[in-house]
C-alpha cells in the first residue's frame, strides 16, 4: 500500500507484497548456478567476483532497502531475510554482502531528504557501513566537518558506491569528549581500502578496512547516533515504511540469513551423498544404512529449521512494527535478540554435526561442506548476534535489570 505525500514523495505504509518477495527468490535460484560457481573464486580471492555483483544487480538484490521514491523495493526485514537466505544457499559471502549493502542503505534512509536526493539521484546504490565502535573523528570545519578514521571489517566496501563510518563528533580537534557519537557518509572516492581481510570463513565478503586521513564533508553528511539509530522515526505516523524499520534488530536478524542458507546447502550436500558413501571402519557400505546416521541427520535438519523459524519470527515482528506507528518495546527486542543468537548457536551445532556425519573429507580445502562450515562458524560470530549477549539481554528483560547494551 502506498500514498502520495504533500511534497510528491512516495510514502509506503507496508512492505512489498509477498508475491514480489517470491519473484525475487525465484530470480535468485535462476542465477544460483553462477553464484555457486563464483563462490569458489570469491573464497580464493577474498572478494566477491564482478560476475556475482552484476548478476545480483540484474535481479535487483542490491535494491531491496532503497526507498520506493528512489526506484527501490523499500523492502523490510522479511524480504531481505528471504532473499539473503536463498543467496546464501549458493554463496554465503555474496549473501553477506547483499545484507550489509541493504542494511547500510536502510541506515542511510534516516538521513535528511537533501542528502538522499543527492545519493540516490541515479537510482539505488551499493553501500557498506561500520556501526559497532567509533573508529574516527569529525571536527567542525567551516560549513562542514573534517574527518579522520579507520574502519576495519567493512564488508562489501570494495563494491560500494557509498559507506557509513561510526565516529566521535568533536567540538574541536583538542576536544577530549567522547560522549557524542555519530556517523559520516562517504562516497567511494573519498576513502581508501586497506587489504586486511585474511580469515578462514566468509572470505568472499571482502571485509577490508576503510581509511580516511583528512576528508572534508558538508555539514549534512554527519549525523548523530540517535538520529540514525533512535526510535523517533518509528513513532512518526507520516513517515515512509523504510524509515520506520528498527535498525539494530533488522541488521541482527538479517545478518544471520547467509548462515541459514549455508546450513541448508551443507545439509543437502551431506544428505545427497548418504546413499553413496560408506562409513569407514564399519560394515556399512552406505551411510544411510546406519540408524545412528539417519537419526542424527534428522535431528540436524530440525536444528536448521528451528533457527530459521526464530529468525522469521523476528523479521515478521520488525515488519509489523514498521507498518504501525509504535516502536517495538525493548523487552520484545531483547527476546528477539536472544532468539537471533540462539539461531546462530544452533546453526553452528548443525554444521558441526554434518561434518561428523560426512567424515574427514569435509575438511578438504575444496570441500563444499567444509567451506559452508567455515562460513557459518565465521558469520555467526558477528558481534551483534552472539548468543551469550542475546541471552543476557533477554535475561535483563525478564529480571527487570539494566540492559547490558542500548543497541536494541
Domains and CATH numbers, the chain: 2-125 (1.10.540.10), 127-226 (2.40.110.10), 246-399 (1.20.140.10)
**Bigger pLDDT: 73 or 1?**
73
For residue 66, CA distances in Å to 113, 243, 245 come to 13, 10, 12
The pLDDT confidence band at residue 4, using thresholds 50, 70 and 90, is low
pTM to 2 decimals? 0.96
Question: What whole-number distance in Å separates Cα of residue 385 and Cα of residue 379?
Answer: 9
Q: Tell me the C-alpha distance between 400 and 334, whole Å.
A: 12
Asked whether the predicted pLDDT for residue 148 surpasses 80, the reply is yes
Pairing of strands 136-141, 162-169: parallel
Average pLDDT, the chain: 95
Query: According to the model, what pLDDT value does residue 326 have?
Result: 85
Pairing outcome for strands 192-194 and 222-224: unpaired
102 or 4: which leads in pLDDT = 102
Mean of the pLDDT values across residues 62-89?
Answer: 98
Q: How far apart are CA 249 and CA 322, in angstroms?
A: 12
pLDDT at 173: 85
Contact (Cβ atoms closer than 8 angstroms) between residue 73 and residue 105:
no
Specify the pLDDT at position 6. Answer: 46
pLDDT score, position 182 = 96
**Rounded percentage of the chain residues whose pLDDT exceeds 90:** 90
User: What integer is the mean pLDDT of 82-96?
Assistant: 98
pLDDT tens profile 221-259: 999 999 999 998 898 888 999 999 999 999 999 999 999
Q: Which three cell numbers stand for residue 93?
A: 559471502
Mean pLDDT of 110-125: 96
Provide the pLDDT confidence category of residue 325 given band limits of 50, 70 and 90: confident
The whole-angstrom separation of Cα 233 and Cα 144 is 25
Beta partners for 252? none
Summarize the confidence of residues 123-136 as an average pLDDT.
92
What whole-number percentage of the chain has pLDDT above 70?
Answer: 98
Mean pLDDT for the stretch of residues 350-364: 96
Q: How far apart are CA 402 and CA 44, in angstroms?
A: 45
Amino acid at each position: 500500500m502506498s500514498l502520495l505525500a504533500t511534497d510528491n514523495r512516495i510514502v509506503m505504509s507496508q512492505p512489498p507484497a509477498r508475491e514480489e518477495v517470491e519473484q525475487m527468490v525465484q530470480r535468485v535460484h535462476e542465477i544460483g548456478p553462477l553464484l555457486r560457481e563464483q563462490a569458489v573464486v570469491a573464497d580464493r580471492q577474498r572478494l566477491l567476483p564482478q560476475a556475482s555483483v552484476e548478476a545480483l544487480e540484474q535481479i535487483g538484490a542490491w535494491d531491496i532497502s532503497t526507498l520506493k521514491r528512489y526506484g527501490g523495493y523499500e523492502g523490510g526485514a522479511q524480504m531481505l531475510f528471504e532473499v539473503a537466505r536463498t543467496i546464501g544457499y549458493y554463496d554465503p559471502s555474496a549473501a553477506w554482502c547483499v545484507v550489509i549493502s541493504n542494511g547500510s542503505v536502510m541506515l542511510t534512509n534516516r538521513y535528511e531528504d537533501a542528502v538522499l536526493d543527492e545519493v540516490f539521484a541515479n537510482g539505488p546504490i551499493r553501500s557498506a557501513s561500520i556501526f559497532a565502535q567509533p573508529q574516527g573523528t569529525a571536527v567542525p570545519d567551516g560549513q562542514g566537518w573534517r574527518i579522520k578514521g579507520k574502519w576495519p571489517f567493512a564488508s562489501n566496501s570494495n563494491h560500494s558506491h557509498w559507506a557509513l563510518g561510526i565516529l566521535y563528533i568533536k567540538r574541536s580537534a583538542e576536544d577530549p569528549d567522547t560522549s557524542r557519537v555519530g556517523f559520516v557518509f562517504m562516497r567511494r572516492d573519498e576513502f581508501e581500502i586497506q587489504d586486511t581481510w585474511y580469515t578462514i570463513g566468509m572470505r568472499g565478503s571482502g571485509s577490508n578496512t576503510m581509511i580516511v586521513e583528512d576528508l572534508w564533508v558538508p555539514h549534512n553528511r554527519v549525523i548523530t547516533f540517535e538520529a540514525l539509530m533512535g526510535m523517533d522515526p518509528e513513532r512518526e505516523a507520516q513517515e515512509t515504511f523504510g524509515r520506520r524499520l528498527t535498525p539494530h534488530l533488522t541488521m541482527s536478524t538479517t545478518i544471520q540469513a547467509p548462515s541459514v542458507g549455508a546450513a541448508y546447502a551443507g545439509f543437502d550436500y551431506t544428505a545427497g551423498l548418504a546413499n553413496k558413501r560408506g562409513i569407514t571402519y564399519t560394515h556399512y557400505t552406505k551411510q544411510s544404512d546406519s540408524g545412528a546416521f539417519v537419526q542424527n541427520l534428522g535431528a540436524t535438519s530440525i536444528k536448521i529449521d528451528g533457527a530459521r523459524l526464530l529468525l522469521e519470527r523476528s523479521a515478521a515482528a520488525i515488519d509489523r512494527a514498521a507498518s504501525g506507528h509504535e516502536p517495538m518495546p525493548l523487552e520484545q527486542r531483547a527476546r528477539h535478540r536472544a532468539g537471533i543468537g540462539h539461531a546462530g548457536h544452533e546453526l553452528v551445532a548443525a554444521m558441526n554435526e554434518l561434518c561428523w556425519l560426512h567424515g574427514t573429507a569435509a575438511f578438504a580445502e575444496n570441500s563444499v561442506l567444509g567451506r559452508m562450515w567455515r562460513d557459518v562458524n565465521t558469520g555467526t560470530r558477528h558481534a551483534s548476534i552472539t548468543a551469550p549477549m542475546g541471552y543476557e539481554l533477554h535475561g535483563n528483560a525478564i529480571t527487570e535489570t539494566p540492559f547490558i547494551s542500548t543497541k536494541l
